[in-house]
Structure 1
Amino acid sequence: MSRQQGITICLLMFGLTFISLGMAFKPKFDYAPIFGWGLGLFTFLIDIFYMRKHFKNKK
Protein backbone atom coordinates (compact mmCIF):
# COMPACT_ATOMS: atom_id res chain seq x y z
CA MET A 1 0.00 0.00 0.00
CA SER A 2 1.38 3.37 -0.95
CA ARG A 3 1.51 6.36 1.36
CA GLN A 4 -1.30 8.14 -0.55
CA GLN A 5 -3.62 5.14 -0.19
CA GLY A 6 -2.87 4.99 3.54
CA ILE A 7 -3.73 8.66 4.00
CA THR A 8 -6.95 8.22 2.03
CA ILE A 9 -8.03 5.22 4.10
CA CYS A 10 -7.15 7.06 7.31
CA LEU A 11 -9.25 10.09 6.33
CA LEU A 12 -12.19 7.86 5.37
CA MET A 13 -12.01 6.08 8.72
CA PHE A 14 -11.85 9.40 10.59
CA GLY A 15 -14.95 10.59 8.71
CA LEU A 16 -16.87 7.44 9.56
CA THR A 17 -15.73 7.65 13.18
CA PHE A 18 -16.90 11.26 13.53
CA ILE A 19 -20.33 10.41 12.13
CA SER A 20 -20.65 7.31 14.32
CA LEU A 21 -19.61 9.16 17.47
CA GLY A 22 -22.02 11.97 16.70
CA MET A 23 -24.88 9.50 16.46
CA ALA A 24 -23.70 7.58 19.55
CA PHE A 25 -23.65 10.73 21.70
CA LYS A 26 -27.10 11.78 20.53
CA PRO A 27 -28.78 10.93 23.87
CA LYS A 28 -26.15 12.84 25.86
CA PHE A 29 -25.77 16.01 23.76
CA ASP A 30 -28.50 17.56 21.66
CA TYR A 31 -26.20 18.83 18.92
CA ALA A 32 -23.83 15.84 18.77
CA PRO A 33 -25.22 14.52 15.44
CA ILE A 34 -24.80 17.91 13.80
CA PHE A 35 -21.16 18.14 14.91
CA GLY A 36 -20.52 14.51 13.97
CA TRP A 37 -21.98 14.87 10.48
CA GLY A 38 -20.26 18.22 10.02
CA LEU A 39 -16.83 16.89 10.97
CA GLY A 40 -17.41 13.72 8.93
CA LEU A 41 -18.37 15.65 5.82
CA PHE A 42 -15.42 17.99 6.33
CA THR A 43 -12.98 15.07 6.45
CA PHE A 44 -14.62 13.51 3.36
CA LEU A 45 -14.16 16.81 1.50
CA ILE A 46 -10.52 16.99 2.57
CA ASP A 47 -10.09 13.43 1.29
CA ILE A 48 -11.67 14.31 -2.07
CA PHE A 49 -9.39 17.33 -2.54
CA TYR A 50 -6.36 15.30 -1.49
CA MET A 51 -7.15 12.54 -3.99
CA ARG A 52 -7.76 15.05 -6.80
CA LYS A 53 -4.36 16.59 -6.11
CA HIS A 54 -2.73 13.16 -6.00
CA PHE A 55 -4.28 12.00 -9.29
CA LYS A 56 -3.42 15.27 -11.00
CA ASN A 57 0.24 14.92 -9.96
CA LYS A 58 0.27 11.23 -10.94
CA LYS A 59 -0.61 11.96 -14.60
Structure 2
Amino acid sequence: MDARCSSEEFQREMEKHFGAMDGVEIVVDDILVNGNTIEGHNLRLRAVLEKARSINL
Protein backbone atom coordinates (compact mmCIF):
# COMPACT_ATOMS: atom_id res chain seq x y z
CA MET A 1 0.00 0.00 0.00
CA ASP A 2 1.21 3.49 -0.87
CA ALA A 3 1.53 5.59 2.31
CA ARG A 4 1.73 8.94 0.50
CA CYS A 5 -1.07 11.42 1.08
CA SER A 6 -2.68 13.00 -1.98
CA SER A 7 -2.43 16.50 -0.47
CA GLU A 8 1.30 15.99 0.10
CA GLU A 9 1.72 14.80 -3.49
CA PHE A 10 -0.23 17.79 -4.77
CA GLN A 11 1.91 20.18 -2.71
CA ARG A 12 5.10 18.53 -3.98
CA GLU A 13 3.97 18.82 -7.62
CA MET A 14 2.92 22.44 -7.22
CA GLU A 15 6.27 23.30 -5.61
CA LYS A 16 8.07 21.47 -8.41
CA HIS A 17 6.35 23.52 -11.11
CA PHE A 18 5.83 26.90 -9.47
CA GLY A 19 8.11 27.02 -6.41
CA ALA A 20 11.10 28.61 -8.14
CA MET A 21 9.09 31.43 -9.72
CA ASP A 22 9.75 34.90 -8.27
CA GLY A 23 6.81 36.33 -6.35
CA VAL A 24 4.91 33.04 -6.31
CA GLU A 25 4.01 31.09 -3.19
CA ILE A 26 2.11 27.82 -2.92
CA VAL A 27 -0.19 27.57 0.12
CA VAL A 28 -2.24 24.39 0.36
CA ASP A 29 -4.24 24.51 -2.89
CA ASP A 30 -3.67 28.18 -3.70
CA ILE A 31 -1.11 29.85 -5.93
CA LEU A 32 -0.34 33.28 -4.47
CA VAL A 33 1.20 35.82 -6.85
CA ASN A 34 2.59 39.15 -5.70
CA GLY A 35 4.55 42.04 -7.13
CA ASN A 36 5.82 45.45 -6.08
CA THR A 37 3.72 47.15 -8.76
CA ILE A 38 0.57 46.21 -10.63
CA GLU A 39 2.68 45.77 -13.76
CA GLY A 40 5.11 43.48 -11.92
CA HIS A 41 2.22 41.49 -10.47
CA ASN A 42 0.59 41.11 -13.87
CA LEU A 43 3.84 39.91 -15.48
CA ARG A 44 4.22 37.26 -12.78
CA LEU A 45 0.57 36.28 -13.02
CA ARG A 46 0.89 35.89 -16.78
CA ALA A 47 3.95 33.66 -16.28
CA VAL A 48 2.03 31.49 -13.79
CA LEU A 49 -0.91 31.14 -16.16
CA GLU A 50 1.39 30.25 -19.06
CA LYS A 51 3.13 27.64 -16.91
CA ALA A 52 -0.22 26.18 -15.81
CA ARG A 53 -1.32 25.95 -19.43
CA SER A 54 1.97 24.31 -20.48
CA ILE A 55 1.55 21.53 -17.87
CA ASN A 56 -2.20 21.12 -18.55
CA LEU A 57 -3.18 22.27 -15.07
Q: Shared fold by TM > 0.5? A: no
Higher RCO (C-alpha 8 Å, min separation 6): 1
More helix by share: 1
| Bin for the TM-score computed over the shorter chain | 0.3 to 0.5
Q: TM-score, normalised by structure 1?
A: 0.39
Q: Comparing both structures, which one devotes a greater share of its residues to strand?
A: 2
Q: TM-score, normalised by structure 2?
A: 0.39
